[in-house]
Amino acid sequence: MPSYVVGVDFGTESGRAVIIDTADGRELGSSVYPYQNGVIDEHLPAPDDDVRLDPEWALQDPDDYIRTFSEAVPAALAAAGVDAGDVVGVGIDFTACTMMPTLADGTSLATLPHLRRQPHAWVKLWKHHAAQPEADRINEVARLRGEAWLDRYGGKISSEWFYSKALQILDEAPAIYEAADRLIEAADWVVWRLTGVETRNSCTAGYKAIWSKQDGFPGRDYFAALDPRLADVVDRKMSRHVSPIGERAGGLTEEAAGWTGLRPGTAVAVANVDAHVSVPAATVTGPGRMVMVMGTSICHMVLGEKPAVVEGMCGVVEDGILPGLFGYEAGQSAVGDIFAWFVDNLVPPEYHEAAQREGLDVHGLLEREAATLAPGQSGLVALDWWNGNRSVLVDVDLSGLLLGATLATKAPEIYRALIEATAFGTRMIIESFEASGVPVHDIVACGGLPERNRLLMQIYADVTRREMAVAESPQTPALGSAMWAAVAAGAAAGGYDSIEDAAAAMARLRSERHVPDAARAAVYDDLYEEYKTLHDYFGRGTNDVMKRLRALRDRVLAG
């Protein structure tokens, strides 16, 4: 008997539903729902569009998530041509931390007539950056109190994370904070709406809300030190029950089944995060193989059997990626964004014209030209800090550096140097992992960049001296969610009893491998030594020129 699973990937601008054959992971149909209200960053949606938002704000409309289900899932089912009755499970992944205040029954405060004109009643999207003062307080108080958990997050909690956003609500809209019976990840809220059961997934709890399996959440005293009104935030507005990834959260309610055409009672998996579900979807279910989600930025994930303190991690969470393992996450804050910046801002007309003439995009043309160069030929080396450095330095005030230009330097040489710099950044992260006893033998890439840029993949292989594979699915998050759906359903219902079983059957790599070339790797060893010297000189306090320039710029802009 055939069985199918539904994976839904909630992105920043849209949600994507896929219908996957449980037997072999084949994608049978998909549909994308562009959120009606998208990213809300200038004013609230009509009829409340007279309510303006400050810069740095980024909200979403929770109804867009429900509409994703009611629109995209039926459309994907129709495209797949499968019987909804044969669907055995539903899994979702989300951007994170994307969080919201609700009533005790799960009603979003943004949908209440008397609160809808209050921006703090809405969903705060991951890239809502208005809670930096709160994040600064969170970090300062943690440092002063010597909170042990700070090490698990590379020494710094981000303004994007859960308590930064919660504390901003309390600071700026105490009445909303008071009215909120629950503060919850949007991912968990969607599962709640699908099943009627409130769960909290171990992935966002661990990576975004300072939870660990061993120590739970930070203590009451810590929260009280931030603000006395926050002292009981976990017990009053969250939950100490955290559900492991892969667990069945519940079954589809009659109402939710009605949105989708699926059977009531269909298994729904505990929610998850887009990057993290990509790990098993990229075939990785054990230690030693790093998964890199490569797009505008890079998220690096490795599984380990024991806890370790790795410099500059985004986080290490037991059960955070796969049950029974420690999930390590690191990151580079700009990768594809740097190449896009270069193409948008520093590529002269001749390349635009040549690209158009040859039916390429400018990236494609520059990649082709850059591919004709040998490592070291340009004489350039760069530091990839155009958007600061996440791992391993955890420093947003660092900036980009390009060294070695001459009057003969051409755009494709700089383009290649920028790619190389991001590869050196990844090598730095790998070496940091291995120095802490977390091995990285080879790499699987997924995301948009590996699809588009073969030169980049080869450079990463040569620079890291590690074989690079690419996940077969171009939609690894949605596939990963579908795999977790199969695990939530269980083998008896046509799914699988473990994510390892699901991965063995459903996840695949492309046959092509990018294998390090010894001669190129030797040149890159030399260039990497130069990168490391500059990295430490500018990044570890010998010459804080980048911070001083940033501070000067801010003073000038402030008048």
Q: What residues make contact with a second copy under the rule CB under 8 A?
A: 334, 337-338, 341, 344-349, 352, 374-381, 386-387, 399-407, 409-411, 414, 523, 526-527, 530, 533-534, 537-538, 543, 545-546, 548-550, 552-553, 555-557
Q: Residue 477 Cβ, how far from a second copy at the closest point, in Å? A: 24
Nearer to a second copy, 503 or 527 (CB): 527
Q: Residue 526 Cβ, how far from a second copy at the closest point, in Å? A: 6
Q: Residue 95 Cβ, how far from a second copy at the closest point, in Å? A: 20
How far apart are the C-alpha atoms of 296 and 447, rounded to whole Å? 9
Full DSSP string of 422-437? HHHHHHHHHHHHHHTT
368 to 27, 235, 338: CA distances (angstroms): 32, 57, 18
Q: Residue 414 Cβ, how far from a second copy at the closest point, in Å? A: 8
Q: Is 39 helix (H, G, I), strand (E, B) or coil?
A: coil
Task: List all residues 6 or more positions away from 192 whose beta carbon is below 8 Å from its beta carbon.
Answer: 106, 184, 198, 199
How far apart are the C-alpha atoms of 270 and 555, rounded to whole Å? 47
Nearer to a second copy, 322 or 335 (CB): 335
Nearer to a second copy, 254 or 344 (CB): 344
Q: Which two tokens stand for residue 494?
A: 């046509």
Nearer to a second copy, 149 or 341 (CB): 341
How far apart are the C-alpha atoms of 52 and 46, rounded to whole Å? 11
Nearer to a second copy, 35 or 351 (CB): 351
Q: Which two tokens stand for residue 3?
A: 């069985």
Integer-rounded Cα radius of gyration of the chain? 23
Q: Residue 537 Cβ, how far from a second copy at the closest point, in Å? A: 7
Nearer to a second copy, 424 or 484 (CB): 424
200 to 33, 194, 233, 244, 541: CA distances (angstroms): 25, 14, 15, 9, 40
Nearer to a second copy, 465 or 550 (CB): 550
Q: Is 124 exposed, middle or buried (0-12, 13-18, 19+ CB in 10 A)?
A: buried
Nearer to a second copy, 326 or 538 (CB): 538
Which DSSP state fits 216? B
Q: Residue 383 Cβ, how far from a second copy at the closest point, in Å? A: 9
How far apart are the C-alpha atoms of 115 and 386, rounded to whole Å? 39
292 to 114, 393, 450, 476: CA distances (angstroms): 44, 19, 10, 11
Q: Residue 400 Cβ, how far from a second copy at the closest point, in Å? A: 4
Q: Are 212 and 150 in contact (CB under 8 A)?
A: no
Phi and psi at residue 8, to the nearest 5°: -125, 125
Nearer to a second copy, 401 or 493 (CB): 401
Nearer to a second copy, 73 or 355 (CB): 355
Q: Residue 407 Cβ, how far from a second copy at the closest point, in Å? A: 5
Which DSSP state fits 270? P
Q: Is 306 helix (H, G, I), strand (E, B) or coil?
A: coil
Nearer to a second copy, 213 or 352 (CB): 352
Q: Residue 211 Cβ, how far from a second copy at the closest point, in Å? A: 32
529-543 core/surface letters (b: 16 or more CB in 10 A; e: else): eebeebbeebbeeee
Q: Residue 372 Cβ, how far from a second copy at the closest point, in Å? A: 13
Q: Residue 559 Cβ, how far from a second copy at the closest point, in Å? A: 9
Query: Half-sphere exposure (CA, 13 Å, Cβ side) for 326?
Result: 19
